[in-house]
Amino acid sequence: MDLNTITEVVRHPPDRPGADWREGDAWLAGGTWLFSAEQPGLRRLIDLTALRWDALVPSDTGLEIGATCTIRDLNAFVPPDDWGAGALFATCCDAFLSSFKVWTAATVGGNICMSLPAGPMITLTVALEATYELWAPDGSVRVVEALDFVTGDNQNVLAPGEALRRISVPVSALRKRTAHRRFALTRHGRSTVFLIGTRTPGTNDLLLTVTAGTTRPVRLAFDTMPDARTLAQSIDVVPADVWFADPNGTPDHRRHLTHHFAEEIRRELMAGSPT
């Protein structure tokens, strides 16, 4: 879609992007959402891709994902053999409500910053206990937990002019065993619920991440594997206003699915089934 209110595109931002941030500005990365709808309040686009941030940087401490990394590049990434959770990259890419053609432009950071309940990059990074590095216009940097970034439907902790720079995934999370469940009304439809459970090798813990069915990510953490009743009770205490409602499902429907899939994940990880 043509954005006829845009008067300028800054293609070569300074080393400190956002230093000249003003009302009516927007970051431009893949632009797959930005150009899909009218943007009457925007006047200028600042192109983050001009900074040429590294897309994926694996190391002994984990994986750094540049905010402008495309979904195509993430999907093509081949993790080390001992990163058991690495299979989640492709799983979460497949959860996008878009064709593979969109993957060539859509970015990991863009999906996170849209902060929609069904954002699969949010699901992925929260489940893998990631942190986000945020750059402010004044040059300061802060790091927030992925779990704390999204605060509601299309809402997050970003201040005006602040940009997501990178996502850091710790190697301890990448080496975990995983199980996931996702439900959508159609095969390639928007997620109604998306759950990921992880378990540390050699332990009996459980980290369950609930997304899509809630307006913000919900994490249920257990030092030892809970029984079915304890897990169900933990889901029941999620506040009523956190469950999401849209044409893909009512809050009651999403709560029901969460109960069902959470128990399947618990049993799979408890039994030692392959991821």
Helix, strand or coil, per DSSP, at residue 268: helix
Q: What is the pLDDT of residue 189?
A: 82
Q: What is the pLDDT of residue 274?
A: 43
- 155-156 and 163-170: which strand pairing? unpaired
Q: Pick the closest to residue 147 from 165, 169, 123 (CA basis).
A: 123
Q: Which residues pair with 10 in a beta bridge?
A: 46
Q: Pick the closest to residue 158 from 25, 42, 65, 7 (CA basis).
A: 25
SS percent in the chain: helix, strand, coil, step 5: 30, 30, 40
Handedness of CA 150, 151, 153, 157 (dihedral sign): negative
Q: Pick the closest to residue 52 from 146, 190, 165, 159 (CA basis).
A: 165
Token representation of residue 188: 């390639």
Give me the tens of pLDDT residue by residue for the chain, a chain 275 residues long.
Answer: 578 888 888 876 666 777 788 898 988 888 887 888 888 888 888 888 888 899 999 999 999 999 999 999 999 999 999 999 999 999 999 998 767 778 888 999 999 999 999 999 999 999 999 999 999 998 899 999 999 999 999 999 999 999 999 999 999 999 999 999 999 998 778 999 999 999 999 999 999 999 999 999 999 999 999 999 999 999 999 999 999 999 999 999 999 999 999 999 999 999 864 44
Q: What H or E segment, with its residue span, contains residue 239? A: none
Q: Pick the closest to residue 125 from 76, 166, 184 (CA basis).
A: 166
Asked if the 54-172 domain carries CATH number 3.30.1360.120, the reply is: no
Q: What is the pLDDT of residue 69?
A: 96
Options 2.30.30.280, 3.40.50.850, 3.30.390.50, 3.40.50.1000; which CATH number does 176-271 get? 3.30.390.50
Backbone phi and psi for residue 124, each to the nearest 5 degrees, phi listed first: -60, -50
Q: What is the pLDDT of residue 4?
A: 83
Q: What is the pLDDT of residue 231?
A: 98
Q: What is the pLDDT of residue 1?
A: 59
Q: What is the pLDDT of residue 14?
A: 62
The single residue listed with the structure tokens 């190697």 is 171
Q: Which amino acid is residue 245, in one-letter code?
A: A
Q: Pick the closest to residue 118 from 35, 188, 204 (CA basis).
A: 188
Helix, strand or coil, per DSSP, at residue 169: strand
